[in-house]
Amino acid sequence: MTKADETTEFLPKFDKNGLIAAIAQDHESKEVLMLAWMNEDALNETMETGEAYYWSRSRQELWHKGATSGAIQIVKKVIIDCDQDAVILFVEQKSTGACHTGRPSCFYRQIKNNELVFIDNE
């Protein structure tokens, strides 16, 4: 353990592409909803507005989650890991769900015997 592991100073560590991993988790059920990436602007917008913003790697632009779909994420709490290179957003998910498929979570398949099995109905 280093002194940095116990600091109260917020010093997020972005990777070489300027990104930090962000997990969205339901604040009540604790279900993992999605994994996305944030750059410094996305993290700042999220902290300032109380709604989730991410960095779209495919579109190379800031992405306000739910701005077009209505599936906005209201941020209830943000925690950061020990070395400050990943965050968890505890959110209240609005509308259909976190996944672009309309599902509540992006994690809806399990790997069994090297095949994907849908677990939506478990």
Question: Which domains are delineated in the chain?
Answer: 16-118 (3.10.20.810)
Dist CA 31 CA 35 (whole Å):
12
Dist CA 98 CA 106 (whole Å):
7
Average pLDDT of every residue of the chain = 93
CA distances from 16 to 20, 75, 84 (A): 10, 26, 14
| Partners of residue 32 on adjacent β-strands | 25
The dihedrals phi and psi of 100, each to the nearest 5 degrees, come to -65, -15
Contacts of 47 (CB under 8 A, 6+ apart): 78
pLDDT at 6: 86
Give 3-state DSSP helix, strand, coil % of the chain, rounded to 5: 10, 40, 50
Tens digits of per-residue pLDDT, 3-48? 668 889 999 999 999 999 999 999 999 999 999 999 999 999 999 9
